Structure 1
Amino acid sequence: MSFIQWLLLAGFIALLLYKVHPAIRKAWQNLHTPKEVHHRMLVAVRRRQAGFTHLLELAPDKQTAALQQLAKSWHAVNEAWARIALFSGGFSTTDKGLSHQADEDWSFIGFYDVADYEDFIKCQTLLEQADYLALRTHYDIRLILGKRLSSAPVSLQNLV
């Protein structure tokens, strides 16, 4: 390669590094070591009869809009929780063909791994924001914190 080709190659590499360097620095700053996980947060969701009745009273086009808004809110709260806690599994009773006609039936149970009590409080505070009022009105959403077990479950004699 000639001297001019080497200069062009060096200039191209310098320009590339100049353009890419801020993105690399930003990614490096956002990179953090994950916290050690000792707790599990249980998320239980069931339909509120009052919210369901209110939904049925709406016109069909408003029902569709309300359901879309509820779905967007649910996805938004899950994305926000994912920034705090790691989703580790769950199940939905409606996916298995089981009915959820009564208010006592829990439609979704999810498990999130949280590092500590402060992360649990962050998730709870996030759910209580005004943005999710419609979601909390239509659904009963419970967050329960417990110790993460990696071996056999605790004996029931401790609960008596």
Structure 2
Amino acid sequence: MSETKKQTGGCQCGAVRYRARGELGYPHICHCRMCQKAAGNYFLPLAAAMREDFELTRGAPKWFRSSDLVRRGFCGDCGTPLFYDIPGADFINITLGSLDEPDAVKPVMQSSTGRKMSWFHAIDNLPVEPQPETPDRENAIAASNHQHPDHDTESWPLGERP
């Protein structure tokens, strides 16, 4: 594996972790209906890692064949969408939200825009909630957080799982 650039990531609970070395190719946002359903969201950000530069570092995903051409990998414990895989291709697509540092990979393209939400252009004009989280609520969430941290850990689970 190349040592140039390294991206790590995984699911919300930490049961599945991965590492990709090298640049992630074609970071994009897909608006197709399959990606919407797979993400449980309005779109799915993806980027390609070359298989030779990709490895699972903990656990194994479950797979759902969303078509005859594609399978989608997700955590069987917490359900986090992780991969869009075309078996036989020399790359695997990683969901950008599953990266430990998702802000490090900026999408450069959109695909399947025929299914893009018609009102997306107005998102920046939506009002912003006037009050941020209170310190008491933020502290309560932090104290009871069961989410895996955004970095590799020696062991999993870190504590008792719910």
TM-score > 0.5 by shorter chain: no
More helix by share: 1
More strand by share: 2
TM-score by length of 2: 0.25
More contact order relative to length (CA 8 Å, sep ≥ 6): 1
> Of the two, which has the highest radius of gyration?
1
